[in-house]
Amino acid sequence: MTAFKEELKSRLVRYCEIDSQSDMDRPGAPSTECQHVILDLVVEELTEMGAADVVKTDYGTVIATIPGTTEGPTIGFLAHVDTAPQFNATGVKPRVIEGYNGGAISYPDDPELTLTPEDNPYLLEKIGDDIVTASGLTLLGADDKAGMAIVMTAARHLLENPDIKRPTIRVAFTPDEEIGRGVDDRLPRDLGVDFAYTFDGEDLGELVYETFSADFAVVTVKGVSIHPGWAKDKLVNAIHLAAKIVDTLPHVTMTPETTDGYQGFIHVVDCKGTADEMVVRFILRDFEMDGLEAKGALMRQVCETIAATEPRAKITCEISPQYRNMRYWLEDNMMPVDLARAAFDDLGITPKSVPIRGGTDGSRLTELGVPCPNLFTGMQNIHGPLEWVSVQDMEKATELCLKIAERAAKSA
């Protein structure tokens, strides 16, 4: 197999240096102008490498074709270009640590920050690998620019080697995945594939076909505003009521920091406003729909209970769907999972199929009729300053991408 290490390293650093955070408070697709910079770069690079049908849709997704050389199913390979809004992503300075020696990794821009194998046991499996981190003040953005680099490297290799047997392949790069808006309803039609894979997973060997189901809740608390000097028996402080709602929800059994495995949660993601009006946003997660619906019912019950204590206030709770557990559809069509497993076997990698406590663009695509499991990239500690990735893990993911295409051609 061709070595892809240097290309992956170069692409990852180049992509990570570009600020491409999404923003749930902004409409449009993509939600932020900065995402256009990296999307336009992808268009330019795909065009230069000779991909066909390169287009950036009006909903901000870049799609292109790698022409097939034999019969077989049309396959999609996807990654998302945006980075998480939870932590600073402006001014990312990626660092490549060649031949990691197994010790603690320090950060030049934050001397108090340390990445250690004691806190990150997966690091011990990567001794000798090339590790990429940020500099301490930002996230890295390997989620999902590692996936971008993998798909682009595989695309370049296939286009430069037309003798490699493969069916038609479509690659796609989506915006706004981190805020749950990565898959436009038109994408399945425009992508035009029989099935697809997202490269948006973590540990070497991850083959994910079970994710959370997700809803988004917005609680609006409207109080009564008046000058505090004359507020007795008149003021209704929306901040106090919002705090009561958050405090009444379960803290010990149903938050992200108290749950794991198949346990779902209710997570307050932000609170904004004043004494007059507060808006509190929550994400609701569960692997099963009855569990998700129960969490929504609990949210509404708590809001109604707090509203009953202060009839002068107006409290609303709006819950909207985000994505659903891809298992509901994939368990009826495991062909893309089985194909990936065969490719893992060819590479001597043991697949790890564990439920992930999150979702991907594949969750929504699968729901819309495009079976789309999620595959590893190697990224770790995502959404924070200790984020890192092994270039060698990315290299294995690139080989997996190519092996899936080869396997699909053989099955034709």
Answer for the pair 98, 9: CB distance below 8 angstroms, yes or no.
no
Known active-site residue 177: yes
Confirm whether residue 200 is marked as ligand binding: yes
Confirm whether residue 157 is marked as ligand binding: no
Peptide bond into 144 cis (omega under 30): yes
d(CA 315, CA 278): 10
Answer for the pair 392, 148: CB distance below 8 angstroms, yes or no.
no
Q: Residue written as tokens 């507020």?
A: 231
Known active-site residue 290: no
d(CA 43, CA 280): 38
Confirm whether residue 143 is marked as ligand binding: yes
d(CA 178, CA 37): 17
Angle between helices 34-48 and 142-160 (to 10 degrees): 20
Confirm whether residue 80 is marked as ligand binding: yes
d(CA 143, CA 201): 8
* Token code pair at residue 156: 């370049």
Answer for the pair 397, 376: CB distance below 8 angstroms, yes or no.
yes
Peptide bond into 228 cis (omega under 30): no
How many residues are recorded in the chain? 412
Q: Which of 82, 130, 144, 393 is catalytic?
A: 82
Contacts 24+ apart (CB under 8 A), 113-119: 113/385, 113/386, 115/381, 115/386, 115/388
d(CA 256, CA 235): 34
Q: β-pairing, 374-376 with 195-201?
A: parallel
Q: Which of 7, 176, 177, 206 is catalytic?
A: 177
Confirm whether residue 345 is marked as ligand binding: no
DSSP 295-330: HHHHHHHHHHHHHHH-TTSEEEEEEEEEE--THHHH
Q: Is 362 exposed, middle or buried (0-12, 13-18, 19+ CB in 10 A)?
A: buried
Active site residues: 82, 177
Annotated binding site for Zn(2+): 80, 143, 178, 200, 383
Output the known binding site. Answer: 80, 143, 178, 200, 383
